[in-house]
Structure 1
């Protein structure tokens, strides 16, 4: 019997979870009981409030990350604007900081488990650092953020990356589940479910197979060559300022900064130096220190990128300015609301 575990967490999106549940239940009925479908949580059986007016769904079991079959991870429902506690990034981050991330990391290592995500479900896993370097899709509003986590975003309705199947918007849960039914039980059962629901799967399922479109090949070659040239240039020459004494030196020193994010405040120490017109920097959070990527001064502001792992894995872009011993600025990833940075120079 094929096991299907649909994971619930506080603030999950109802349709992300219910649509696959109905598809798999219909397939179970039409195929003569060859599937077992249940709602689970990382904590065990409980009533789980959704993000749609707090409507609760009962999970009957605890997620088993070693049980062969399919695990479905939905996204969240919440505020799409702002960075408050009920915003979608904040809800996803809270779920990421539970035992769910460790369980899903374990599940992704199992050869007989397929992990499927719907809408923001891929972001939930990506924010936990589980999908770096893999191809996936999420809701169109979150594609930039998905890319900022190190995932290769693909603008398709459904993306097949081996044991990871991801769907785009909210209603893509129907497409993901029907694709998996066809994959596991065959096209006749999938077709019968389509007829029952009067719904046909949308779009071509993207896979990293076959001949790549010519335009994409040329673009990749050009971008790759450009990236190699830029990397070489940065590595050999750094960033040169026309007047480092009046421009870059105002950023030099150690800074104690605070970044106010949707999931809490981060305390980060910045160490910035300039030598022969070349600016360098390091950021320390806890016991982890990482180098600034491509620091540059523009219009009296210091810009750089930084890979962080806490509270989630993201590639952040920073933009700061100073006035005396004070530093202010922003840190931003994709279309997520910018997080405010404030800091004081360490004397």
Structure 2
């Protein structure tokens, strides 16, 4: 199947000036270096990395804001910088910290202007707006000026604006940043529904590992401008293994638990955390045999810890 996004040897360099004003020196800095990947139609891919790793620079090259210094990129078969106007009709973009809506206009008017920007036929626009209004629950604040919307409401409005022209690809940069739990859940469920029903390809950057675990079948990790990992979540755990944790609630406070195959790393009253080094089943059986246990829970390492280990190793 042809890739909807294809990057090959992608790189972006900047020139920065250093030193005193009258004795400035110029230095080349590589924000992205030799990044290659392919995204198939209908995939949901998480693009992870610490601040300054090159995530946003990569996205800007994919949507045509920045021209690559090296390598090549194609999105829906188009070269983003050369065919930026044509590409804009095939992709939707949402930056969580910036809005594409008109600040002083009611949300309804902002969405109406979007129709003209993308030259969407009136009937198609009306039908899609009705669908998005229902799914994203926009009706209560369509008449509200954008500046008066809450962050969660504005984010839903930005999503609607990005999808009114029925794009093949949706690019999201921190789509749930600053949202409360209810708003995050609503956005995630909407994106899953969009992908399942429309087959929309979604590429998102995020620091919220809940987004990754709920949405992404595939994860790419970028660090220092280079791809450190590209695969599924199981593979991510395999690349940077983190020990599982056994949380034991004893009937009463006690000295740190000592059993083969585990190491007690934390004690708070009757609750103890054990880092597993051996077979979990054997450790659990041994703890239950040697101690009076009220409750016991096995916790898998979360993605945040795994990604942190990748950064630390590099």
Does the alignment reach a TM-score above 0.5? no
Give the TM-score taking structure 1 as reference length.
Answer: 0.28
Structure having the higher Rg: 2
Q: Which has the higher strand share?
A: 1
Give the TM-score taking structure 2 as reference length.
Answer: 0.30
